[in-house]
Amino acid sequence: MVNRLAPGYRASTISVGLNGALAVVKLVCGIAGNSYALVADAIESLGDIFSSAIVWSGLVIASRPADANHPYGHGKAEPLAALFVAFLLVAAAATIATQAVHEIRTPHHTPEMYTLFVLLGVVVVKEAMYRYEARAARESVSTAVMVDAWHHRSDAMTSAAAAVGISIALVGGPGYEPADDWAALAACGVIVVNAVRFVRTAVGELMDASPEAPLIESIHAAALKVEGALFVEKVLVRKMGPQLYVDLHLEVEPELPVREAHRIAHLVKDSIMASRREIADVLVHVEPAKKGDTATRRS
């Protein structure tokens, strides 16, 4: 399990360092250059340091092996971290939106030209970091790391919107100073939409929501490759961090000896675990086949 989470560890560690450096650059340039959108970006980057640390901590806990009190392991720590980080995204968007409204209502100077180039550089760096961490999330099968990756993309979108706003303010001249504040406000909506999406995903994992149909179908197919496996009556799957646990009801010939039915069940378990690397265990419950089910399997 630790090896599977290793890409997530690396990505979250790099994320902490990168967000710290960018926060300092954006904060200094935003204050000196009269751009609240850039200051807002700096605030979110400071929050991202905290969120990346939470993701890292969640992965550390999730990697702990099963014990007497946690027979399925500690994988639920990972969606818990994802849920907390998603709420941080909402809080960051609310903070930025509140201050943006204040700045719109308060006259201020036009942003300096160099703030535009700073923002464009941030967009490039943040999008690159999103792609790197999203790839690590897929390798780790980690919702928390994917949420943290979207923190980077949210930063990139906020910075891109701010760059548009500053461009409008610079081109429009007097009267267009709040354009970058409006851009920051618009970007908050995108951040909230993505945060809500990740809240739903994390809550689904915590509530043991049923996985997508293609996963269930692949488990069915892997089970029925085994000779003697006549019909899969029921498949239950729960996600524990990066790992999946499967409960399966398998129908075999009613007259089979217990030893033979047990052998088939083990072969089914091996087949399913070999089909997907994230499946940690399979519990096969053997039942006598019903005539209709057997006919369905054979057709």
Specify the pairing of strand 279-288 against strand 243-252.
Answer: parallel
d(CA 113, CA 170): 7
Report whether 270 contacts 171 (CB < 8 A): no
> Where are the chain's structural domains?
2-206, 213-298
Q: Answer yes or no: pTM beyond 0.85.
A: no
d(CA 171, CA 176): 8
Which SS3 state, helix, strand or coil, does residue 280 take?
strand
Domains 2-206 and 213-298 share a fold: no
| Residuewise pLDDT in 10s, the chain (299 residues) | 445 566 766 777 777 777 788 888 878 887 887 776 677 677 767 767 777 777 777 777 877 888 888 888 888 887 888 888 888 878 878 887 887 788 778 766 667 788 788 888 888 988 898 898 888 888 777 777 887 787 788 778 777 877 887 788 778 777 776 777 787 777 778 778 878 887 888 888 888 887 788 889 999 999 999 999 999 988 999 888 778 899 999 999 999 999 999 999 999 999 999 998 888 899 999 999 887 665 444 43
2-206 belongs to CATH 1.20.1510.10: yes
Q: Which CATH architecture has domain 213-298?
A: 2-Layer Sandwich (3.30)
